[in-house]
Structure 1
Amino acid sequence: MKKIIAVFAGVLIAVAASAKTWENFVNVGVRFPCNPLNLEAENDGGKVKISPIAGIDMGYTGVHENGFSVRAILDYGYAGSDIKFGSDYFDGMNLEFLAGCGYAPIHDKNMFLGVYGIFGINYSMFEGSTEILIGNRTKNEYKYTFLLPVMGVNGTFIYTFSKSFSVYGTMTAEIVLPGKIERKVNSSSTKADLKSSFLVVPAIGVSWKF
Protein backbone atom coordinates (compact mmCIF):
# COMPACT_ATOMS: atom_id res chain seq x y z
CA MET A 1 0.00 0.00 0.00
CA LYS A 2 2.87 2.41 0.80
CA LYS A 3 4.38 1.78 -2.63
CA ILE A 4 1.02 2.42 -4.30
CA ILE A 5 0.65 5.74 -2.45
CA ALA A 6 4.22 6.76 -3.40
CA VAL A 7 3.59 5.97 -7.07
CA PHE A 8 0.28 7.83 -7.04
CA ALA A 9 1.89 10.87 -5.38
CA GLY A 10 4.55 10.85 -8.11
CA VAL A 11 1.86 10.77 -10.78
CA LEU A 12 0.12 13.77 -9.17
CA ILE A 13 3.35 15.77 -9.20
CA ALA A 14 4.12 14.80 -12.80
CA VAL A 15 0.63 15.72 -13.98
CA ALA A 16 0.77 19.07 -12.20
CA ALA A 17 4.19 19.87 -13.65
CA SER A 18 3.31 18.92 -17.22
CA ALA A 19 -0.21 20.33 -17.50
CA LYS A 20 -0.58 23.24 -19.88
CA THR A 21 -3.12 25.11 -17.81
CA TRP A 22 -3.21 24.01 -14.20
CA GLU A 23 -4.58 25.73 -11.10
CA ASN A 24 -3.34 24.72 -7.66
CA PHE A 25 -4.76 25.11 -4.16
CA VAL A 26 -3.03 24.35 -0.86
CA ASN A 27 -5.29 24.28 2.17
CA VAL A 28 -5.04 24.24 5.98
CA GLY A 29 -8.05 23.84 8.22
CA VAL A 30 -9.86 21.89 10.89
CA ARG A 31 -11.57 18.52 10.50
CA PHE A 32 -14.62 17.33 12.47
CA PRO A 33 -15.17 13.54 12.19
CA CYS A 34 -18.89 12.85 12.56
CA ASN A 35 -18.87 9.30 13.90
CA PRO A 36 -16.64 6.81 15.72
CA LEU A 37 -14.98 3.85 14.05
CA ASN A 38 -16.59 0.69 15.39
CA LEU A 39 -14.04 -2.03 14.76
CA GLU A 40 -14.45 -5.75 15.32
CA ALA A 41 -11.70 -8.36 15.21
CA GLU A 42 -12.51 -11.20 12.82
CA ASN A 43 -10.74 -14.00 14.68
CA ASP A 44 -11.52 -13.34 18.37
CA GLY A 45 -14.71 -11.25 18.22
CA GLY A 46 -13.15 -8.42 20.23
CA LYS A 47 -14.64 -4.97 19.59
CA VAL A 48 -12.96 -1.56 19.80
CA LYS A 49 -14.41 1.90 19.26
CA ILE A 50 -12.09 4.67 18.03
CA SER A 51 -13.41 8.23 18.21
CA PRO A 52 -11.34 10.64 16.07
CA ILE A 53 -11.78 14.17 17.44
CA ALA A 54 -11.25 17.55 15.77
CA GLY A 55 -7.78 17.82 14.25
CA ILE A 56 -5.71 19.48 11.56
CA ASP A 57 -6.71 19.09 7.91
CA MET A 58 -4.09 19.79 5.24
CA GLY A 59 -4.33 19.16 1.54
CA TYR A 60 -3.65 19.90 -2.10
CA THR A 61 -6.12 20.35 -4.94
CA GLY A 62 -5.17 20.74 -8.59
CA VAL A 63 -7.42 21.23 -11.61
CA HIS A 64 -6.67 21.22 -15.35
CA GLU A 65 -8.51 23.50 -17.77
CA ASN A 66 -10.49 20.49 -19.03
CA GLY A 67 -11.90 19.81 -15.54
CA PHE A 68 -9.67 16.87 -14.61
CA SER A 69 -8.71 17.29 -10.96
CA VAL A 70 -6.51 15.62 -8.35
CA ARG A 71 -6.77 15.73 -4.57
CA ALA A 72 -4.47 14.82 -1.66
CA ILE A 73 -5.41 15.03 2.04
CA LEU A 74 -3.33 14.67 5.21
CA ASP A 75 -5.22 14.74 8.53
CA TYR A 76 -3.84 14.55 12.04
CA GLY A 77 -5.71 14.71 15.31
CA TYR A 78 -6.49 13.46 18.78
CA ALA A 79 -8.55 10.30 19.19
CA GLY A 80 -10.43 8.74 22.07
CA SER A 81 -11.22 5.05 22.50
CA ASP A 82 -13.12 2.58 24.66
CA ILE A 83 -9.90 0.68 25.43
CA LYS A 84 -9.89 0.55 29.21
CA PHE A 85 -7.55 -0.80 31.86
CA GLY A 86 -8.39 -0.12 35.46
CA SER A 87 -10.49 3.06 35.60
CA ASP A 88 -8.86 4.88 32.68
CA TYR A 89 -9.68 4.95 28.98
CA PHE A 90 -6.75 5.21 26.60
CA ASP A 91 -6.41 8.30 24.41
CA GLY A 92 -4.18 8.56 21.38
CA MET A 93 -3.66 9.94 17.89
CA ASN A 94 -5.23 9.44 14.49
CA LEU A 95 -3.39 10.05 11.19
CA GLU A 96 -4.89 9.71 7.74
CA PHE A 97 -3.51 10.13 4.23
CA LEU A 98 -5.84 10.08 1.23
CA ALA A 99 -5.30 10.72 -2.48
CA GLY A 100 -7.43 10.48 -5.57
CA CYS A 101 -8.63 12.03 -8.80
CA GLY A 102 -11.94 13.16 -10.23
CA TYR A 103 -13.72 15.94 -12.06
CA ALA A 104 -14.46 19.60 -11.32
CA PRO A 105 -17.76 20.69 -12.94
CA ILE A 106 -17.20 24.22 -11.59
CA HIS A 107 -13.79 25.90 -11.82
CA ASP A 108 -13.91 29.58 -12.66
CA LYS A 109 -12.25 32.70 -11.26
CA ASN A 110 -14.05 32.60 -7.92
CA MET A 111 -15.61 29.17 -7.42
CA PHE A 112 -14.36 25.62 -7.52
CA LEU A 113 -16.24 22.36 -6.97
CA GLY A 114 -14.59 18.96 -7.36
CA VAL A 115 -15.73 15.39 -6.75
CA TYR A 116 -13.18 12.59 -6.28
CA GLY A 117 -12.70 8.91 -5.76
CA ILE A 118 -10.07 8.53 -3.05
CA PHE A 119 -8.03 5.84 -1.33
CA GLY A 120 -5.38 5.79 1.38
CA ILE A 121 -4.46 4.77 4.93
CA ASN A 122 -5.98 5.46 8.37
CA TYR A 123 -3.56 4.92 11.27
CA SER A 124 -4.32 5.16 15.00
CA MET A 125 -2.12 4.56 18.06
CA PHE A 126 -3.02 4.38 21.74
CA GLU A 127 -0.54 4.02 24.60
CA GLY A 128 -0.95 3.77 28.34
CA SER A 129 0.10 2.03 31.52
CA THR A 130 -1.51 0.57 34.61
CA GLU A 131 -0.14 -0.40 37.99
CA ILE A 132 -1.38 -3.57 39.65
CA LEU A 133 -0.68 -4.17 43.33
CA ILE A 134 0.10 -7.86 43.72
CA GLY A 135 2.80 -8.19 46.35
CA ASN A 136 5.25 -5.73 44.84
CA ARG A 137 3.67 -3.10 42.63
CA THR A 138 3.64 -4.16 38.98
CA LYS A 139 3.47 -1.71 36.09
CA ASN A 140 2.18 -2.84 32.70
CA GLU A 141 2.75 -0.91 29.48
CA TYR A 142 0.08 -1.14 26.77
CA LYS A 143 0.20 -0.10 23.12
CA TYR A 144 -2.55 -0.54 20.52
CA THR A 145 -1.94 0.29 16.85
CA PHE A 146 -4.50 0.19 14.02
CA LEU A 147 -3.58 0.22 10.33
CA LEU A 148 -6.62 0.47 8.07
CA PRO A 149 -6.87 0.89 4.27
CA VAL A 150 -9.51 3.39 3.18
CA MET A 151 -11.49 4.13 0.02
CA GLY A 152 -14.39 6.49 -0.59
CA VAL A 153 -15.68 9.72 -2.08
CA ASN A 154 -14.63 13.32 -1.44
CA GLY A 155 -16.31 16.57 -2.40
CA THR A 156 -14.43 19.87 -2.16
CA PHE A 157 -15.74 23.44 -2.57
CA ILE A 158 -13.41 26.46 -2.71
CA TYR A 159 -14.37 30.13 -2.93
CA THR A 160 -11.64 32.61 -3.89
CA PHE A 161 -11.96 36.17 -2.56
CA SER A 162 -8.80 37.63 -4.09
CA LYS A 163 -6.01 36.58 -6.41
CA SER A 164 -4.70 33.95 -4.02
CA PHE A 165 -6.75 33.84 -0.79
CA SER A 166 -9.66 31.37 -0.56
CA VAL A 167 -11.83 29.50 1.91
CA TYR A 168 -12.81 25.87 1.49
CA GLY A 169 -15.15 23.20 2.75
CA THR A 170 -14.75 19.50 2.14
CA MET A 171 -16.60 16.30 2.98
CA THR A 172 -15.19 12.78 2.80
CA ALA A 173 -17.29 9.61 3.11
CA GLU A 174 -14.94 6.69 3.75
CA ILE A 175 -15.31 2.94 3.76
CA VAL A 176 -12.64 1.71 6.16
CA LEU A 177 -11.61 -1.63 4.68
CA PRO A 178 -10.54 -4.69 6.70
CA GLY A 179 -7.22 -3.93 8.37
CA LYS A 180 -4.90 -4.89 11.22
CA ILE A 181 -4.69 -4.31 14.96
CA GLU A 182 -1.62 -5.01 17.07
CA ARG A 183 -1.98 -5.27 20.84
CA LYS A 184 1.25 -5.02 22.80
CA VAL A 185 1.49 -5.60 26.55
CA ASN A 186 5.01 -5.09 27.87
CA SER A 187 7.19 -7.22 25.57
CA SER A 188 4.48 -9.54 24.19
CA SER A 189 2.18 -8.70 21.30
CA THR A 190 -0.77 -10.18 19.42
CA LYS A 191 -2.23 -9.28 16.03
CA ALA A 192 -5.75 -9.59 14.65
CA ASP A 193 -7.65 -8.84 11.44
CA LEU A 194 -10.35 -6.17 11.61
CA LYS A 195 -13.68 -6.03 9.79
CA SER A 196 -14.66 -3.00 7.69
CA SER A 197 -16.29 0.15 9.06
CA PHE A 198 -17.46 3.60 7.91
CA LEU A 199 -16.37 7.17 8.62
CA VAL A 200 -17.62 10.64 7.58
CA VAL A 201 -15.18 13.55 7.90
CA PRO A 202 -16.04 17.19 7.03
CA ALA A 203 -13.44 19.96 7.23
CA ILE A 204 -13.27 23.74 6.74
CA GLY A 205 -10.39 26.19 6.48
CA VAL A 206 -8.41 28.59 4.33
CA SER A 207 -6.71 27.94 1.00
CA TRP A 208 -4.02 29.56 -1.16
CA LYS A 209 -4.39 29.56 -4.93
CA PHE A 210 -1.38 29.61 -7.26
Structure 2
Amino acid sequence: MPPPVSNSGHSDALHTAVETDARDSMKSAAQRLLVRRTTEQHSHPEHVAVSTDGTWMKRGFSSMFVIVYNAGTWGLTAAAEGGLDAFHRGQLRSLIGFVWPQKIATTALYDRCKAEPISRIITRARWSLFGHILRLPSDAPAVLSMVSYFECDDHKWRGRPRITLPVKLDDDLNRAACGRLQSLEDLERLSDVAAVRSEWRQLLDMICG
Protein backbone atom coordinates (compact mmCIF):
# COMPACT_ATOMS: atom_id res chain seq x y z
CA MET A 1 0.00 0.00 0.00
CA PRO A 2 1.24 3.53 -0.67
CA PRO A 3 2.33 5.56 2.36
CA PRO A 4 -0.26 7.91 3.86
CA VAL A 5 -0.37 11.41 2.44
CA SER A 6 1.19 13.95 4.77
CA ASN A 7 -0.74 17.15 5.43
CA SER A 8 2.12 18.95 7.15
CA GLY A 9 2.60 21.25 4.14
CA HIS A 10 -1.05 22.27 4.17
CA SER A 11 -0.95 22.87 7.94
CA ASP A 12 2.12 25.07 7.62
CA ALA A 13 0.54 27.08 4.80
CA LEU A 14 -2.69 27.52 6.79
CA HIS A 15 -0.78 28.58 9.90
CA THR A 16 1.21 31.14 7.90
CA ALA A 17 -1.93 32.54 6.26
CA VAL A 18 -3.78 32.87 9.59
CA GLU A 19 -0.78 34.47 11.28
CA THR A 20 -0.34 36.97 8.44
CA ASP A 21 -4.04 37.87 8.43
CA ALA A 22 -4.08 38.31 12.22
CA ARG A 23 -1.01 40.57 12.11
CA ASP A 24 -2.49 42.70 9.30
CA SER A 25 -5.84 42.97 11.12
CA MET A 26 -4.21 44.10 14.37
CA LYS A 27 -2.05 46.62 12.53
CA SER A 28 -5.07 48.02 10.68
CA ALA A 29 -7.09 48.27 13.91
CA ALA A 30 -4.22 50.04 15.67
CA GLN A 31 -3.86 52.55 12.84
CA ARG A 32 -7.61 53.30 12.80
CA LEU A 33 -7.58 53.79 16.57
CA LEU A 34 -4.53 56.04 16.33
CA VAL A 35 -6.26 58.29 13.78
CA ARG A 36 -9.44 58.47 15.83
CA ARG A 37 -7.72 59.16 19.14
CA THR A 38 -5.45 61.86 17.70
CA THR A 39 -8.45 63.72 16.27
CA GLU A 40 -10.38 63.67 19.55
CA GLN A 41 -10.08 66.64 21.85
CA HIS A 42 -7.82 66.13 24.88
CA SER A 43 -7.00 62.64 23.70
CA HIS A 44 -3.65 60.90 24.00
CA PRO A 45 -3.13 57.86 21.77
CA GLU A 46 -0.48 56.44 24.10
CA HIS A 47 -3.10 56.03 26.84
CA VAL A 48 -4.40 52.87 25.22
CA ALA A 49 -3.55 49.37 26.39
CA VAL A 50 -3.42 46.23 24.29
CA SER A 51 -6.06 43.58 24.92
CA THR A 52 -7.36 40.61 22.98
CA ASP A 53 -11.00 40.58 24.09
CA GLY A 54 -12.28 43.91 22.76
CA THR A 55 -12.93 45.36 26.23
CA TRP A 56 -10.19 47.96 25.67
CA MET A 57 -12.76 50.05 23.76
CA LYS A 58 -15.51 50.05 26.40
CA ARG A 59 -14.34 52.90 28.60
CA GLY A 60 -12.34 54.73 25.97
CA PHE A 61 -8.85 54.34 27.41
CA SER A 62 -7.65 50.93 28.59
CA SER A 63 -8.52 47.58 30.14
CA MET A 64 -6.81 44.72 31.92
CA PHE A 65 -4.49 42.54 29.90
CA VAL A 66 -6.29 39.35 28.95
CA ILE A 67 -2.95 37.99 27.83
CA VAL A 68 -1.74 37.77 31.45
CA TYR A 69 -4.94 36.31 32.90
CA ASN A 70 -4.07 33.88 35.73
CA ALA A 71 -0.37 34.64 35.15
CA GLY A 72 0.45 33.86 38.78
CA THR A 73 0.25 30.16 37.96
CA TRP A 74 2.60 30.30 34.98
CA GLY A 75 6.06 28.81 34.92
CA LEU A 76 7.46 30.30 31.71
CA THR A 77 10.95 30.01 30.31
CA ALA A 78 13.02 33.14 29.85
CA ALA A 79 12.59 32.77 26.08
CA ALA A 80 8.78 32.67 26.40
CA GLU A 81 8.74 35.77 28.60
CA GLY A 82 11.05 37.54 26.16
CA GLY A 83 8.68 36.68 23.31
CA LEU A 84 5.72 38.17 25.20
CA ASP A 85 7.70 41.34 25.92
CA ALA A 86 8.70 41.65 22.25
CA PHE A 87 5.08 41.21 21.10
CA HIS A 88 3.90 43.78 23.65
CA ARG A 89 6.49 46.34 22.53
CA GLY A 90 5.48 45.82 18.91
CA GLN A 91 1.85 46.57 19.76
CA LEU A 92 2.81 49.67 21.75
CA ARG A 93 4.87 50.99 18.84
CA SER A 94 1.93 50.47 16.49
CA LEU A 95 -0.44 52.29 18.83
CA ILE A 96 1.72 55.40 19.04
CA GLY A 97 2.50 55.38 15.33
CA PHE A 98 6.11 54.16 15.33
CA VAL A 99 6.71 51.91 12.33
CA TRP A 100 9.91 50.94 10.56
CA PRO A 101 12.21 52.75 9.85
CA GLN A 102 11.21 54.93 12.81
CA LYS A 103 12.85 53.86 16.05
CA ILE A 104 12.24 54.43 19.74
CA ALA A 105 14.26 53.09 22.65
CA THR A 106 12.62 50.46 24.83
CA THR A 107 12.83 52.59 27.98
CA ALA A 108 11.40 55.61 26.16
CA LEU A 109 8.60 53.44 24.74
CA TYR A 110 7.53 52.20 28.17
CA ASP A 111 7.78 55.70 29.65
CA ARG A 112 5.70 57.26 26.88
CA CYS A 113 3.00 54.59 27.07
CA LYS A 114 3.10 54.46 30.87
CA ALA A 115 3.57 50.71 30.60
CA GLU A 116 5.94 48.07 31.89
CA PRO A 117 7.22 44.76 30.51
CA ILE A 118 4.75 41.91 30.58
CA SER A 119 7.44 39.72 32.16
CA ARG A 120 7.45 42.05 35.17
CA ILE A 121 3.65 41.87 35.42
CA ILE A 122 3.86 38.07 35.36
CA THR A 123 6.57 38.03 38.05
CA ARG A 124 4.53 40.31 40.30
CA ALA A 125 1.42 38.16 39.81
CA ARG A 126 3.41 35.01 40.57
CA TRP A 127 4.75 36.38 43.84
CA SER A 128 1.45 37.94 44.88
CA LEU A 129 -0.24 34.56 44.50
CA PHE A 130 2.65 32.85 46.30
CA GLY A 131 2.25 35.25 49.22
CA HIS A 132 -1.47 34.51 49.48
CA ILE A 133 -0.73 30.78 49.55
CA LEU A 134 1.95 31.17 52.23
CA ARG A 135 -0.57 32.95 54.46
CA LEU A 136 -3.10 30.12 54.20
CA PRO A 137 -3.65 27.70 57.11
CA SER A 138 -1.07 24.92 57.35
CA ASP A 139 -3.66 22.28 56.40
CA ALA A 140 -4.71 24.03 53.16
CA PRO A 141 -4.25 21.79 50.06
CA ALA A 142 -1.94 24.30 48.36
CA VAL A 143 0.32 24.51 51.42
CA LEU A 144 0.38 20.72 51.81
CA SER A 145 1.35 20.39 48.14
CA MET A 146 4.30 22.77 48.59
CA VAL A 147 5.47 20.96 51.70
CA SER A 148 5.20 17.63 49.89
CA TYR A 149 7.22 19.01 46.98
CA PHE A 150 10.14 20.10 49.15
CA GLU A 151 10.04 16.96 51.28
CA CYS A 152 10.69 14.94 48.12
CA ASP A 153 14.41 14.51 47.49
CA ASP A 154 14.19 13.51 43.83
CA HIS A 155 13.18 16.33 41.45
CA LYS A 156 15.01 14.97 38.43
CA TRP A 157 13.38 14.02 35.15
CA ARG A 158 14.73 12.48 32.02
CA GLY A 159 15.58 15.01 29.33
CA ARG A 160 16.05 18.72 29.67
CA PRO A 161 15.19 20.39 32.99
CA ARG A 162 11.53 21.29 33.45
CA ILE A 163 10.50 24.81 34.34
CA THR A 164 8.10 24.50 37.27
CA LEU A 165 6.72 27.19 39.59
CA PRO A 166 9.19 26.36 42.40
CA VAL A 167 12.03 26.60 39.88
CA LYS A 168 10.81 30.02 38.68
CA LEU A 169 10.36 31.28 42.24
CA ASP A 170 13.87 30.14 43.10
CA ASP A 171 15.25 31.85 39.98
CA ASP A 172 13.47 35.09 40.93
CA LEU A 173 14.96 35.02 44.42
CA ASN A 174 18.43 34.17 43.16
CA ARG A 175 18.36 36.91 40.53
CA ALA A 176 17.39 39.51 43.14
CA ALA A 177 19.98 38.18 45.64
CA CYS A 178 17.20 37.55 48.17
CA GLY A 179 18.06 33.97 49.05
CA ARG A 180 16.90 30.70 47.55
CA LEU A 181 13.85 28.41 47.54
CA GLN A 182 15.30 24.92 47.44
CA SER A 183 14.31 23.33 50.73
CA LEU A 184 11.58 23.14 53.34
CA GLU A 185 13.60 25.51 55.52
CA ASP A 186 13.59 28.10 52.73
CA LEU A 187 9.82 27.71 52.41
CA GLU A 188 9.33 28.24 56.14
CA ARG A 189 11.54 31.33 56.05
CA LEU A 190 9.43 32.82 53.26
CA SER A 191 6.25 31.94 55.17
CA ASP A 192 7.51 34.04 58.09
CA VAL A 193 8.18 36.94 55.71
CA ALA A 194 4.76 36.62 54.08
CA ALA A 195 3.08 36.80 57.49
CA VAL A 196 4.25 40.42 57.76
CA ARG A 197 2.75 42.17 54.76
CA SER A 198 5.09 45.16 54.88
CA GLU A 199 8.11 42.85 54.67
CA TRP A 200 6.48 40.87 51.87
CA ARG A 201 5.84 44.03 49.86
CA GLN A 202 9.46 45.02 50.36
CA LEU A 203 10.56 41.61 49.06
CA LEU A 204 8.27 42.00 46.02
CA ASP A 205 9.77 45.41 45.27
CA MET A 206 13.26 43.89 45.31
CA ILE A 207 12.25 41.00 43.04
CA CYS A 208 10.12 42.98 40.59
CA GLY A 209 12.11 46.20 40.63
- TM-score bracket, shorter-length normalisation: under 0.3
**Which has the higher Rg, Structure 1 or Structure 2?**
2
Structure-2-length-normalised TM-score: 0.23
Q: Which has the higher helix share?
A: 2
Structure-1-length-normalised TM-score: 0.23
Q: Which has the higher strand share?
A: 1
